[in-house]
Amino acid sequence: MFLIPSLMGVFLFMTPVPHTDGITIPIAVLKDFLLGLIGDQIGLVVASALVLSALASIVTKLLRPQAVLQNNFLNSLLNPSWVWFSIRLLGAIFVLMVMTSTGPEFIAGETTGAFVFTELMPTLFAVFIFAGMLLPLLTHFGLLELIGSLFTKVMRPLFGLPGRSAVNCLASWLGDGSVGVLMSSKQYEEKCYTQREAAVIGTTFSAVSISFSLVVIAQVGLDSMFVPFYLTVCLAGFVVALIVPRLPPLSNKKDLLIDGTERTEDAEVVPEGQSVLAFGYQNALNTAAKIDSLGSVLLVSVKNAFDMVFGVLPVVMAIGTMGLIVAEYTPLFAWLGMPFVPLLELLQIPFAKEASETMVVGFADMFIPSIIAAGIDNDMTKFVIAALSVTQLIFMSEIGALLLGSKIPVNAFELFVIFLLRTLVSLPVIAGVAHLIF
């Protein structure tokens, strides 16, 4: 009960395999298979899910059906707070505008709503289906207990986090940051992480995948430098993970569980006289022994998938579109980037003024900085912008919106502050490496 499901989880979420687009993980292959199977109808499927989510929420809010309100899962899924209810409706409205080409250009245009709907939503839909269904292989059969015991002496001193968080990082790094956010949120809901731990893991270890990093460096025309580029990203990410969680707002988060109670015991602390491996293995077996039937795990899997598709996808559509509207149609991000000019000049980055325009715009979408950087005639500046856009991590068109739509205790203002802190900490590291390379 422990070994077989856990090995399946490791294979699906963490094992690199060759694919047509290079090295990826099996969950990504399944995602591509589903998208290929649905084909051109994927837009209609995604739109239907968002509209159905909005309509079901409207019915629940207006008619208050007892069958929904008295069911914990349905109530949490279809009866969100008024703020999230409004955002869910907005996501459905944006989708209908894009699908029918009836909305204003600034909402439904190719660089705003249509971009989120066509480029991000299909991928997230497929990822949510498979990640939601298969995630219990990692979380319910003892693997996290084993990894937690093995890695607690690394993760606790360095990052102040449970050892099990190493699994979140690895799944994100090899696969997709959205998987990391999903794992963190579910573990927080199951009282495995405190508020501080969930916020730190969600904003620090839901890393950008290797495959997307390759897309970013290719966009700026530096494909041949991928190895030094990705090593730079890893180094900067490590430094950020050491420093930013020790600063507000993350350091101000409480070490309380989701229900406000304190953790009574740390299951990862190894007793005196027992080896780390033996203790972790026994914990894993104890967790696997709690599984009374595979049907109960399957029910959790189905709930995960519905929660992500009906609950989180509309949030990504609404917040992602609004973020891109601000980036494309207002000078806000350009203004916010102006204070970075002196810092870039101090770090001796060429074309400092042009580069400053990319410093904050990545908060809307990670890919925008590399698009702007492609027009700058200096490889060193392109390298710095591309590496920084990846290490900034929090962008509202996907990861930021996912975090806001999850149960992880962070708000939009805190995400923006964390984004700025990640930028300020990682920029000198990236610039230093760039000066060594160029």
Please indicate, yes or no, if residue 260 is contained in any of the structural domains: no
d(CA 237, CA 429): 10
Is 221 in the same domain as 338?
A: yes
**Same-domain pairing of 150 and 224:** no
Same domain, 163 and 41: yes
pLDDT tens sequence across 148-183: 888 888 888 888 888 888 887 777 766 567 778 888
Residue 176 lies in a domain: yes
Count: domains in the chain: 2
CA angle 210, 429, 198 (to 5 degrees): 60
Torsion of CA 118, 122, 128, 134, to 10 degrees: -150
Is a pLDDT exceeding 90 seen at residue 251?
yes
Q: Is position 245 within any domain?
A: yes
For 124-146, write each residue's pLDDT tens digit: 898 888 888 888 898 889 988 88
Give yes or no for a contact between 396 and 365, defined as CB atoms under 8 angstroms apart: yes
343 or 21, which is more confident: 343
If asked whether residues 244 and 378 sit together in one domain, one would say: yes
In a domain, 285, yes or no: no
Q: What's the gap between Cα 77 and its chain centre?
A: 20
Q: In terms of domains, do 29 and 163 share one?
A: yes
Same domain, 157 and 241: no
pLDDT in tens, 14-50: 787 887 766 677 888 888 899 999 999 999 999 999 9
For residues 117 and 193, state if they share a domain: yes
Q: Which residue has the tokens 């609004």?
A: 322
* Angstrom distance (rounded) from CA 186 to CA 233: 27
51 and 169 part of one domain: yes
The answer to whether residue 30 sits within a structural domain is: yes
**265 occurs within a structural domain:** no
pLDDT tops 80 at residue 416: yes
What's the pLDDT score for residue 214?
A: 76
Instruction: Check whether residue 216 and residue 309 sit in a common domain.
Output: no
Residue 125 domain boundaries: 3-206+290-314
Q: Are 346 and 401 in a shared domain?
A: yes
Q: Please say if the pLDDT value at position 379 is more than 80.
A: yes
Q: Are 390 and 375 in contact (CB under 8 A)?
A: no
Instruction: Flag whether 281 is in a domain.
Output: no
**302/320 same-domain check:** no
Residues 150, 176 within the same domain: yes
Distance CA 278, CA 186 (A): 27
Q: Residue 262 domain-assigned? A: no
